[in-house]
Structure formats: C-alpha cells, structure tokens
Amino acid sequence: MKTSKRSILFPILFFIGVNLIILFLSRLGLSIWQIERVNDVSGWLPLLLQGTRIDISALCWLFGLPALLSVLLCHSNIIGQIWKIILRLWLTIGSTFILFMELATPAFIETYDIRPNRLFIEYLLYPKEVFTMLANGHLFAVLSSSIMTLFAVVIYWKLSGWAVKSFIFPNWKWRPVMFIAIATTMFIGARSSFEHRGINPAMVAFSSDPLVNSLVLNSGYSVMFAIQQLKDESRSSEQYGKMSAEDIFSTIKATQQRPASDYISNEIPTLTYNEATYKGKLKNIVIILEESLGAQFIGALGGKPLSPEFDKLAQEGWLFENIYATGTRSVRGIEAVISGFTPTPARSTVKLSKSQRNFFTIAELLKRNGYETSFIYGGEKHFDNMASFFYGNGFKTIIDEKDYINPDFVATWGVSDEDLFKKADSLFKQWNKEDKPFFSLVFSSSNHDPFEFPDGKIALYDKEKQTRNNAAKYADYAIGKFFKLAKNADYWKNTIFLVIADHDSRVAGASLVPIQHFHIPALILGNGIEVKKDKRLVSQIDMSPTLLSLAGISGAYPMLGYDLTKNIDPNRAFMQYNQTQAMMKGSDVVILEPKTEAKGYTYNKETQHLTEQQLPEKLKKEALAYALIGSYLYQNQLYKLPEAINSNKNE
C-alpha cells in the first residue's frame, strides 16, 4: 500500500498527540484512585483543565526544538537522512521518559503522597541502596514498570519509523515563515502565559491538598522543574519573598528574647555567647537519632502502642511533648539536630557544597573542647553525602557498615539497630576507659522501607511482618536494649542522652503542611536529669543548645535555637514540606509558598486541621525572615565558629 505524503511536522504533531492522551489517561487514573481527596477540594475541573495546560507546556518544551530543526534540516539529502534518525531517537527517548515517569508515579505517591519531585532525583544518586530497597519492598512495581518501559521503547521506535516516511518538503522560501510561526507557537505554548512569569506549579495550584496540586502536573514536568530548582537553590528561599539582610537580622533578633549585647561578632551575625546551666565536670553527649520514629508511633505521646520501652524511659527523663521536626528527610533532621540550622527549600546543608567545611556543628564546638567526636551508623557513610559533611565539620570518627564484624542481622539499609547499639556501647566504654569526654551521633536505620528486622524480637503488631508499625516497634525494642547496656556501664553516670526522631514516617496529608506528621518524640536521659514532661512548643533546632547547657559547655556559637534549661518559652516551630514552609507560633501558622503571598491559619491539634484566617503582618514578616536567613547564612558562609576562639570559659 502506498503511503500518503505527510508534512515534515507530522512526526512531532503525532507524538505530541500520543503523549497528550497518555498524560491525560494517567492523570485521570491517578485522580480516580485519589477520588476522595479530589472531591474534597472540588478539584475535577481545575485538575483536568490546568493539567492539560501543563502537558501542552511540557510537550512544547520537549518537542519545540526538534520541530524547528525539522524545518531547517528535513530534505531528501544526506543531512535530511541523518536528521530523520536523530528525530526518531528524540521522539522515542522523550516519549519513553514521559511514560516511565507516569508508570513510576503510583508507587511514589503511595510512599511520599506526592508526584515524583526533587526526592526522586536525590535517590537516584544512590542506586545500590535504592534499588535494593525497591527489589525487597516494591518488586512487582519495579518489574511491571520495567517491562512496560521496554515495550514502550520498541513501540515508540516503530511508530517513529512509520511517522517519518514520505515527507512533502516545503519550498525553501516558505521555510523561514514556517520557522517563525513554529517558534512563536511553541514559545507561547511553553510559557502558557502572557504574564511576567511563565507557567509554574504555583500558578496551577488551586487547593490546600499538596497531592491534588501535584496531580495537576505530570511527573516528567515535576522532576524537570525540580532539577531546575536544584540549579537555583542558592537563592531558593527568595521564592517566598525578598527582604534585606539588615531587615532579616533585626526582625529575628527582636524575636530571640535576649539582649542585643549577647551578639558578639560583627563578622558572624548570629554568633552569641551562651552560659551553660550545669557547672560541673564536662559531660559526654550522645544523640540517638531514630529513623522515621514520629509521634504517631509513640504511646506516651498519644500514638499507637508500639513503644513500651520508650514509654518506660519517658518516666525517667525529660520528655518533650510538643516538639516538631524541621523537615521530612534524614539529612534535614541531622542538619537541625547537630547544627541547629533553620530549614530552607534547598537541599539540606549536609549535601550542599559550601557547607562541607567550616559549617557549624556541635561536633566542631565539642572537638575544640577536647571531646572525642563520632558518627555511628549501620549503613554506608557515603549515603546522602554524610561522610563528607561530618568529616569536614568536626567529626573525628565515622563508623559504618564495613566496621561491623559478623553482625547478627544485615538489611537493605545496613546492620540492625541492635548491632548498631552494641557497637556504640563498646566504643563508649572504650573512650570512657581512656577518660576522654565524647560526643556521638548514633543514627538508626531499621525503621525504613522495606522494614526489615530480625525475627523473634517482638510480638508483631501487624500480621504481615515487614510493615511500618512492626519496624517502629522493633526500633523501640532496640532502644530499650541499648539503655539496659548503658545503665550498667561506667559511662552512664557522666553522659547526657537525647533520643529523637529525624522525621516522621510517610509525611503526608490533605493539607498544605500536614503538621501532625512533623510531631516527633524527644527524650533527654541521664544521671541527674530531672524527670518532667515539657509542654512548650519547641523545634529540633532547640536540642543542641539545650544539650550543651546540660553538659556544661559554655561558649559562643551561631545557633538560633533556645537553651531549654532556661526559663524561656520558644513557642514556635519551623517545618519545611516540599517547597512550602510553615512557622507555627502557638496555634497560629504562617504558610509560605513559592511566588505566593504568605497566608495565615489556625491549627487545631485535636482535629489536626488548618483553618485559614488573617494573621498580623508582623507575624508574616517574622516567618519570612526565618525562611530567608538560612539561605543567606549558607550562601555567605556565615554559619560557623570564628577561626580561633576560646570556646569554653572553663578552659
């Protein structure tokens, strides 16, 4: 059969049509899957209309250049033949990427309650850990997506071959006209707006539910937008609004409940001198950072009955009942707990280039005070760039998976929590015997998808073994075993322990910021620690100043958190959720979204519901100042200790 002649733009238009259908069907299927949440925000019309707008924009960006090149290069000569092959590759690879991202979306939403975004990219940097996790916990999704993607490559390649046959080549005098017309059309389609800025996720967001807003996008667009943001992350906080550096610091200092004389450096704007409450022999500090152990898993905080060991320990120490994580990633928790750093919409400073040396951590401060400093982990130290950050900022010793001899249990993310705590206990005994004060960050990993832990340790909460609830219960079991070891060791009497979560597990919800999933446990234990339940609203960034004060470390540091041993009520917490940041003061919440005016809400802790309301402009300004300060300090490398400082007046 003779093939009819086609326009040189036919392959582009055909593949745009195919991809529009695929993206529409994918969005429709995802929306039906999440029908309750779409219905709750009356979202069908804006979701489908704005979704089509996003798809057209994305496809104009993807296929605009080959459309223009086709006008210039399509001909019956050798250049035209080479261009046909390049065009087929472009159409096949681009369309396969779009389909693959949509196939990967359901599993990603199931885990993170949002379309693939920056987190998707960051995980690709660690293929061994991620693919092992996927193989152990999401095997069907991996296999089915892989098979369908391979089929798609073959089908798209054949379709592209069919589409590039029998062109009608336009007269050369018309090609400049075609070029201008196509360039104009593609530019307008890609921008999808005649306003100052082209289309972006904030422009098509219409609800208070982040998942529904993400369904408006397509996953390929979402990931490419995230890549663009990574390039611009040094200025990422500016998307919330602008404020001069002078205004940022004056606003924040006015909220810090301390005299201006406390700020002791012209070079380092947040550097203050801080007098410790405890005045005796310097104490050891151990931070046990628990993977994904949110308040929802802690009985003592009103969560599920999965924490009998923690609940018993809570009767022996200082329990914070109203503390909130700064983010949803482990590195964000690390940044907050050991550096006291406020969150930003950029990646955590653990992963950024300018913070790999001379960035403040309490390890660096304690090292200057003669402490043995360490990071003890059961997985691989390179993950999330932890080794580089720790070695460059005061940590002398790093223990990772290769340092465990014949561990009892090894899972996807490393050795079990029990193996981790046995190693920590042995090192603490060694340093104590050498009469060295020590600081250690001990980071657990068992409570992580695919939730692998040793058999026979706990009575399962869920019938199926590898679940979040069972892994959380095992994590609690291991905490109990560690403290039995610690209480029988000589180092117990001179050590301050903090047990705290890095973040909650699967932070999600039909709210701009699901505040209930930032609520975490924090418990300070040790010889001489007063038993109490603390109801003050506090943040992870308050933990390091408090630990230093309890350990007897008086000194200068740039942290903005509060020493909670003092008679002071911070009554605020900061939460970064994807590209949204919240500042909560009491029950008032200011939410900052990219390129959008700050909005005020009231948070009801009982119903876990945010209700929009007018809040004072002063409060919104304070929220913006805190959102901007981290990026400013990082970019200008001002979050540090002075080069030479007598850190401790006891010396």
Look at residues 356, 372, 362 and name the one whose alpha carbon lies nearest to residue 339: 362
Active site residue 330: yes
Which tokens sit at 30?
Answer: 């995802």
8 Å CB contact between 240 and 592 = yes
Which tokens sit at 351?
Answer: 């992963």
DSSP state of 513: S
CA 24, 30, 36, 40 torsion: positive or negative? negative
Per-residue CA distances from 377 to 285, 305, 381, 495, 516 (Å): 16, 27, 7, 20, 28
Distance CA 629, CA 574 (A): 13
Look at residues 222, 187, 217 and name the one whose alpha carbon lies nearest to residue 204: 217
382 annotated to a ligand binding site = no
Q: In what order do the strands lie in the sheet with 588-592?
A: 573-577, 580-585, 588-592, 599-604, 609-612
Q: How many C-beta neighbours within 10 Å does residue 607 have?
A: 9
- Which distant-in-sequence residues (6+ apart) come within 8 Å of 558 by Cβ? 268, 270, 271, 272, 360, 633, 638, 639, 640, 641
8 Å CB contact between 118 and 229 = yes
**H and E: helices and strands count for the chain:** 20, 20
Distance CA 155, CA 162 (A): 11
440: helix, strand or coil: strand
311 annotated to a ligand binding site = no
519 annotated to a ligand binding site = no
291 annotated to a ligand binding site = yes
Burial 251-284 (b: 16+ CB within 10 A, else e): bbbebbeeeeeebebeebbbbbebebebeeebbb
Which of 330, 416, 446, 505 is an active site residue? 330
Residues forming the annotated binding site for substrate? 448
Residues forming the annotated binding site for Mn(2+)? 291, 502-503
Residues forming the annotated binding site? 291, 448, 502-503
For the annotated catalytic residues, the residue numbers are 330
